[in-house]
Amino acid sequence: MGPTASGKTGLALHLAEHFPLEIVNADSVQVYRGMDIGSAKPTLQERQAIVHHLIDVTTPDDPFSAGRFRTAALEVIEDCHRRGVIPALVGGTGFYFRAVEQGIAEIPEVDAQIVAELNRRVCDEVGLACCYAQLQQVDPPWAARVEPGDRQRIVRGLSVYLASGQPLSYWQQLSCQQAPEGPALRICKLAIEWPREQLYARINQRFEQMLKEGFMEEVQGLLSRGYHGDLPAMRAVGYRALIGYLQGAYDLARAVELGQRDSRRYAKRQITWLKAEPGLQWLAPEGAKQAALDEVRAFLQFFKKK
């Protein structure tokens, strides 16, 4: 687990050199084919060296929900257990991890008219910023996990509140208090904790490196294949900023600035979520690989004795 650009993939690959381990992707963008550079997807060489699951599962116009991820991930986990292999979930998408460990919240259905009305208000009347401010008032926990520009999740939060009289975070918390269906999982949670300024510098540098590796061309290719900017996948961090540039909304310098800013904000939200994650072991960047080896060995040895 960990925020963007913290070194999750490198740490997982190191562990795979010492344990019978296969990687289960837990990044909500890496599940999409064609979204490679912007999602920092493991390279083909890395994927050939160590088995990776749940990468390139579907296309960007096919939303991959937490429910779909949970079903697919549990199938992979059970298969790994049958073969005597350790499944390692690697990624920074908190609701994917939560879906596997805690199950999926049973949220009341929302009438389509409510969603349509909210979308109309966002587009034609009060605007997205005002709707986000309303979300912050009625559901602060959900708003803290949502970007101010994420129309889909803003509308989702407001629509559940209007339909049920309770915030979306209430229903999610209610579900977490109930035992999830599925196998009981024993989990060792690890994350690398960088000083914030160092992490932000890594984020800025990585975004520039992505552009050198062809990130802009990747986005152009996705748009040319009909994957428009309103798709949830195409609103992912980094992609949205470059789409704005390609559509003439601002110049390249502004696109880079927005992409880096959005990535830093995303990392900040990830850290906030991780700080509240029970049982998570934070590792200092210096010596993280050895510390991770020690943690995993101790974890496996503990359950081996039982």
Tell me the C-alpha distance between 175 and 155, whole Å: 21
- Both structure tokens of 202: 């890594």
* Annotated binding residue 221: no
Torsion angles phi and psi, residue 165, rounded to 5 = 80, 0
Domains and CATH numbers, the chain: 8-104+188-305 (3.40.50.300), 112-176 (1.10.20.140)
Strand residues in the chain grouped as ranges (E): 21-25, 52-53, 86-90, 189-192, 280-283
Whether the predicted pLDDT of 33 surpasses 70: yes
Q: Which of 90, 63, 15 is nearest to 295 (CA)?
A: 15
Label residue 105 by pLDDT band (50, 70, 90).
Answer: confident
Residue 7 near residue 36 (C-beta atoms within 8 A): no
Torsion region of 69: left, alpha or beta (phi above 0 gives left; psi -120 to 50 gives alpha)? alpha
**Tens-place pLDDT, residues 43-55:** 999 999 999 999 9
186 to 12, 137, 213, 282: CA distances (angstroms): 18, 37, 38, 18
**Tens-place pLDDT, residues 108-132:** 888 888 888 888 887 666 788 899 9
* Annotated binding residue 272: no
* Annotated binding residue 8: yes
Angle between helices 128-138 and 151-164 (to 10 degrees): 50
What is the percent of the chain with per-residue pLDDT over 70, rounded to a whole number? 95
Torsion angles phi and psi, residue 63, rounded to 5 = -55, 130
Read off the DSSP letter of residue 118: H
- Both structure tokens of 4: 């963007």
* Annotated binding residue 7: yes
What was the pLDDT predicted at 179?
46
What was the pLDDT predicted at 61?
95
Q: Is 58 in a helix, a strand, or coil?
A: strand
* Annotated binding residue 65: no
**Tens-place pLDDT, residues 181-223:** 556 689 999 999 999 999 999 999 999 999 999 999 999 999 9
